[in-house]
Structure 1
Amino acid sequence: MTLRIIPQRFAPHAQGLLRIAAALLFLQHGTAKLFGVPHVAMFDGLKLISLLGAAGVIELIGGILILLGLFTRPVAFILSGQMAVAYFLFHAGKAFWPTLNGGELAALYCFVFLFFAAAGPGAFALDRE
Structure 2
Amino acid sequence: MSLGTLVLRYGFFAVLATLANLGTQRLVLLGGDEARLFLPALAIGTLVGLVVKYLLDKRWIFFDPAAGLGAHGRKFSLYTLMGVATTAIFWGTETLFWWIGGTHAARETGAVLGLAVGYVVKYNLDKQYVFRQLE
TM score, norm. by length of structure 2 = 0.30
Relative CO higher for 1 or 2, CA cutoff 8 Å, sep ≥ 6?
1
Kindly indicate which of the two structures has a greater share of residues assigned to helix: 2
